[in-house]
Structure 1
Amino acid sequence: MTDTAARLLLLLSLLQSRPEWPGPDLAGRLGVSGRTVRRDVDRLRALGYPVDATKGRGAVYRLGAGTEPPPLLFDGEQAVAVALALQLAPQTVTGSAEAAARALTTIRQVMPARLRHKIDTMQVTTVANSWEFLARPVDAAVLDAVSDAVRRREVIRFDYHGDNSLDRRSDRRAGEAEAWSPPLRVEPHRLLVWSGRWYLVAWDLDGGAWRTFRVDRIAPKMRTGLRFTPRALPAADIAEYVRCQVDRGDTADDWACYGEAILETPASLVARWAPGGAIVEDLGPNRCRLTMGAWSWIGLAALFGTFEADFEVVGPPELLDACAALARRYAAVRDRPDD
């Protein structure tokens, strides 16, 4: 934000904080000259804010009278960003749809007419189970508890569920209960969203190491009230750190077809590019096990082939058959005579 923009926001905040402001007082609070105050007031008026002022060197400023609150200080791009964010929020956070809709309505009411029209044209319809590898949405109350602990730098205790074994996923599909770990105590440092999934980067107090947790698998317990001193993060680029983590708490989503293969390529590379919800197990410097799901066996076979690495199918037989069918299909394309 530029100095001018920051000063305008502060000026608007001051004008809203009390009925009237003498010009010299505003200049003193803003650290500028009276002339700059007058120019900033003109800028606010140009943006649609009704600012009244008495004439003369001892001018007194106040927001104009009226029942409607002053319009928000958004430009067109910001208005579009806010409208999109509020409409997409329910896609990753359950229980937020009503609050997001009310927030968008409130913001719309205090925007200038030209921006209200702009966000009215940005109506977004989200579709579940689309082509994207969408994650299970995070409960709004859980996200609030975790983000509050991050903000307060407070140790958080929670139960954590999920198991990376294919057998356990099959059991869950059959209706059996998910596996829960013993309660964990961590220092929460950073929240991150990647591929529609919320992750928490935290220091595991019992394990003495950095860990990455899927927030949708966290069940917070009572607040601890224990504050901690932030540690140096495990990487300068925390987003890249999470993307390349093999053990980041992912479990495969509910797809019709699941398969497993051994790939002759580094696990960190596969973790970086595998679809959301895929499970990667490090088997050595240039070898890993990848388990993931897809909409069809042919689709799953094609996904395994996207890593440009030799691989061996572990199972099930349907995946091996799909690889053979896909190979024949590609071979037919290669051998087709040119027109």
Structure 2
Amino acid sequence: MPARLRRRIDTLQVTTVEGLATRPDVRVDGGVLVALSAAVHAGEVLRFDYAAASPQEADDDGVLTPPRRVEPHHLVTWGGRWHVVAWDLDREDWRTFRADRITPRSPTGPRFPRREAPGGDVAVVVGRFDAGIEVVGPAELREAFAQLARRYARAASGAMGGVGRAEPMLRSP
């Protein structure tokens, strides 16, 4: 194998995390996977555009703005999808990004010192159990989460006001 190809293949390091449920495989451009893996391997800050999950969140080009800046930790396959587990420099927290929504920007940024994944295990970051949730839209989903939060708060407080009382659920248009 030519040295140039061998070097690119050697940088491809993938972590597999057992998922709770599998989804259909989503195709990711091979060049994107190589770029993501290279940034992980080199320990270089990764800059990228991240495609919006819904049209309401997107700018005219279909991306969220501004570009993301992260310290990539692992390239992960989980539930039939590719993800990058990274420390988000702007949000100062661990995040998981779907690789099929990433468009890497060039060049990568400076090298960074490696961080320890919470609990020492990348599976913790991927969110098998205690995962933070950020609802980015649509508004109906935000309201559904708010309804659940009210129900859980009543249950946790021991309040009987919510027992046996039906709360209307949202319906999709």
TM-score of the superposition, structure 1-length normalised? 0.33
| Structure 1 residue identity aligned to 2:88 | D
Aligned to 2:107: 223
Deviation at 1:161, TM superposition (A): 1.5
Aligned to 1:192: 76
3-state DSSP of counterpart to 1:160: strand
- Counterpart contact for 2:95–2:125, Cα < 8 Å: no
2:152 paired with 1:286: yes
Per-residue CA distance 1:199-254 (angstroms, 9 max, x = gap): 11111122222211111111101123511110111233322431343448999xxx
Segment drifting more, 224-233 vs 211-220: 224-233
Per-residue CA distance 1:127-150 (angstroms, 9 max, x = gap): xxxxx6314311111111001100
Q: Could you tell me which of 308, 311, 315 is aligned with 2:171? A: 315
Aligned to 2:31: 141
2:125 paired with 1:241: yes
3-state DSSP of counterpart to 2:64: coil
Looking at structure 2, the residues matched to 237 and 284 of structure 1 have their Cα atoms a distance apart, in angstroms, of 32
Pairing of 1:159-178 with structure 2 (within 5 A): 159-163=49-53, 168=56, 178=62
- Counterpart contact for 2:118–2:124, Cα < 8 Å: no
| Structure 1 residue identity aligned to 2:56 | R
| Structure 2 residue identity aligned to 1:315 | R
Structure 1 or 2, whichever has the larger Rg, is 1
Q: What are structure 2's unaligned runs of at least 5 residues?
A: 1-21, 154-165
Aligned to 2:7: none
Looking at structure 1, the residues matched to 135 and 27 of structure 2 have their Cα atoms a distance apart, in angstroms, of 15
3-state DSSP of counterpart to 1:207: coil
Looking at structure 1, the residues matched to 145 and 107 of structure 2 have their Cα atoms a distance apart, in angstroms, of 43
Bigger RCO (CA 8 Å, 6+ sep):
2
Identity rate, percent: 39
3-state DSSP of counterpart to 2:120: coil
After TM superposition, which residue ranges in structure 1, 4 or more long, deviate above 6 angstroms?
248-251
| Structure 2 residue identity aligned to 1:154 | E
| Structure 1 residue identity aligned to 2:42 | R
Looking at structure 2, the residues matched to 187 and 283 of structure 1 have their Cα atoms a distance apart, in angstroms, of 32
Aligned to 2:18: none
